[in-house]
Amino acid sequence: MKNKTLRNDLIVIVILFLIIGGLFFFKSRKQGQLIEITKDNQIYGYYSLNEDQIIKIDQENTIQIKNQKVKMIQA
């Protein structure tokens, strides 16, 4: 009887650790998916790092998002 209770307790503890670990994993993946672009201390916009795109801010500044990396391609 004692071994069965110990085994059940271990199963519950393992399940709790898996749930907590999954929550941390998904939270850390969501962070950093967006970038904030500012110009002259004004927020220009928020853009996803998951979508490859070219953002033309004005006639002089262009930003490229590709493979979850941001690059200023014209300034």
Residue-wise pLDDT tens digits, 15-49: 888 888 887 777 655 555 888 888 888 888 999 88
Residues 69 and 75: their CA atoms lie apart, in Å, by 17
Enter the pTM of the model.
0.55
Length of the chain: 75
Domains defined for the chain, CATH in brackets: 2-74 (2.60.320)
Residue 48 has which token pair? 């996803």
H or E element, residue 34? strand 34-39
How far CA 65 is from CA of 24, 33, 36, 41, 47, in Å, comes to 26, 11, 12, 21, 9
Q: What is the mean pLDDT of residues 40-68?
A: 89
pLDDT for res 73? 92
Phi, psi dihedral angles at 65 (to 5 degrees): -110, 120
